[in-house]
Amino acid sequence: MSTLRTFHRSVFGLALLAAGVAQAAGTADVLIQPVASRFPTIAVDVNVRDAKTGAPIPGLTREQFSVTEDLREAAILGVESLTPEAADARGVDFVFVFDDTGSMAEEIDGLIQRTLEFANIVQTSGFDYRFALISFGDELRHKVDFTASAGDFKTAVAALRADGGGDEPENALEALRYGVTALSHDPARRKVFVLITDASFHSADAVTPLTTQAVLADLKTLGAVLNVVGPNLDQYRWMADALAGSFYDKDSGQFKRIVEQIAGGSASNYRLTFTTSRPDYDNTWRALEVAVKDASEGSGVSQYQAPSWVSASSRIDGFSGINSQFAPHNAIDGNPATAWAEGVSGAGVGEWVALNFAAPQTVDRFALTLPAGSTVRRVGVLINDEDKRFYDLKPGQSAQSFALEAPLPVSRFKVVLEAAESGDNGLAEIELFNGSALVEPIAKAHDIRRTAKLAQEQNKQGETLYHAKKYDDAVFYYKEALKNDPTYAQAFSNLGLAYQRQNQFADAVWANRQAIALARGTTRDTVLASSHYNIARIFEAQNKFEQALQNFLWAQNYKANPVYDKAIARMNEKLGR
């Protein structure tokens, strides 16, 4: 063997060894994008690349992945390799639909800074890309057709100027429609839309005749996936769910990381599925970590939000969330004087409210009560998202009862407003029966008005025991309080602290998540900030610095506190940023 050949073989062997050592030391870059549209089954698009070369790492098996959800390991149902074999299947078209009104300067800068990195992630993952850009306020502003040049796209983004606005809503639907109908789409390429905004949108009003349902139908016909980075409104969450995309809370403070995750998820080489260990429809955010082990090592983290057990397409005063006087939960509180009301312009035809059950409920009839002044005359009912049944309603507040053909196991009960004349419309009560009895989840919701005072007394007993350091007894009383009022945010917050004292960290995270989802009233921001802070400290103690940072940022978003500022700086230092 020649000396030269020996030298080359030795160098090649050293290169393989170095690559193996580097991967074993944790040199796989992992980006993840969770998709919760089939909750409680969660899909996670995973991009695993060599940290040095950026090349995708193929051939990983189910045994080499692990998934952790809020500190609990989840059982993986399956792992699918997504890397396309044929070159013509590797094209991905990205359409960025960007609100460039005055409050969006930070996001514009973030997209400029991440454009080349976004393109690099997609390209090194084995896909070729094209970018298009549409910006909007009340009208469409910039319209840039597809380009295969990341540099040209970056220049187009840099031309955006955050100005105007301040007169919500904006015109996102027209921008999405333009993206569907006016760009030079190639039928052979995948389509990924990314809507970025901090405002609600016009719908069926003087600015646009378009409705959410019509635009979603257009996107679905195109075969597009829709990711939304926006305020935590009903409309945006279900739009992303309807088109197998992901919703990201714009106020998370991590816009640049979100852009990376969308790039990685859109050019993923694996898809994992797992069933959450918390199948309750509780509207909580959950932290996910996907780790790769053995020959390649690394991990990626993200968040997803579970749906609420009472969800809707919209509500009046949507930015108030659970504090809205017309929140969806009003439709199951047993009080016909309160109501869910849709939050779009016009009569609200096509808007909906749905009940989601973690365990199927046997139902043989249902009753609907209209609020005073409602002009709804017809509804459609979908049971378990199957064929729609239509029912006519009469004006008035009395419950109107309808029998099913036979008792059915119901996991999801959705009511769609099909015909109405004008005004803000909705439903005062939805009641599902098995024989003469209400199904259990609705019966419990009705009982809260009767048992809430007892829950407050039990919570006070728990607080007394907690301060006496009798944590087991405190947990008992907090749980009793929550049996009597499952919506009692302060009891959940207290329970989280008690679990933390018992070193039951996963349970403590869960309880604080519940407090966040249920917080309302004048103390809402205080509960949100303190609960996010408690979660962050738990993650920090477990050396989960990315998850800790996210929750410190959320705490800071709800309440100014120098403690939060120092914690954010500490996490950024730990993460080398």
Q: Which residues make up the CATH 1.25.40.10 domain(s) of the chain?
A: 445-574
Please say if the pLDDT value at position 252 is more than 90: no
Of how many residues is the chain composed? 577
How far is Cα 21 from Cα 15, in angstroms, rounded to an integer? 10
Query: What CATH number belongs to 310-438?
Result: 2.60.120.260
Classify residue 307 by its DSSP letter. P
Instruction: State pLDDT tens for residues 59-71.
Output: 999 999 999 999 9
Q: Is 268 exposed, middle or buried (0-12, 13-18, 19+ CB in 10 A)?
A: buried
Alpha helices, DSSP H, located in 143-292: 150-158, 172-181, 212-222, 234-242, 255-266
How far is Cα 225 from Cα 245, in angstroms, rounded to an integer? 5
422 — pLDDT class (breaks 50, 70, 90):
confident
Alpha-carbon separation of residue 539 from 140, 494, 550, 571 (angstroms): 43, 18, 10, 11
Q: What pLDDT does residue 129 have?
A: 94
Please tell us whether the domain made up of 445-574 is placed in CATH 1.25.40.10. Answer: yes
> What is the three-class DSSP state of 130?
strand
Q: What pLDDT does residue 478 have?
A: 98
How far is Cα 176 from Cα 92, in angstroms, rounded to an integer? 18
Amino acid present at 235: Q
84 — pLDDT class (breaks 50, 70, 90):
low
Level-2 CATH architecture, domain 87-267: 3-Layer(aba) Sandwich (3.40)
Q: Which residues make up the CATH 2.60.120.260 domain(s) of the chain?
A: 310-438
Among the listed residues 248, 242, 235, the one whose alpha carbon sits nearest the alpha carbon of residue 345: 235
How far is Cα 336 from Cα 115, in angstroms, rounded to an integer? 51
Q: Torsions phi, psi of 94, nearest 5?
A: -105, 125
Among the listed residues 188, 192, 167, the one whose alpha carbon sits nearest the alpha carbon of residue 35: 192
How far is Cα 45 from Cα 111, in angstroms, rounded to an integer? 21
Residue range 211-236: average pLDDT?
95
How far is Cα 503 from Cα 497, in angstroms, rounded to an integer? 10
This prediction has a pTM of 0.89
Q: Which residues make up the CATH 3.40.50.410 domain(s) of the chain?
A: 87-267
Instruction: State pLDDT tens for residues 534-565.
Output: 999 999 999 999 999 999 999 999 999 999 99
Q: What pLDDT does residue 6 have?
A: 34
How far is Cα 144 from Cα 128, in angstroms, rounded to an integer? 18
- The answer to whether 519 touches 527, Cβ cutoff 8 Å, is yes
Instruction: State pLDDT tens for residues 124-143.
Output: 888 899 999 999 999 999 99
- The answer to whether 459 touches 481, Cβ cutoff 8 Å, is yes
Instruction: State pLDDT tens for residues 47-61.
Output: 999 988 888 999 999
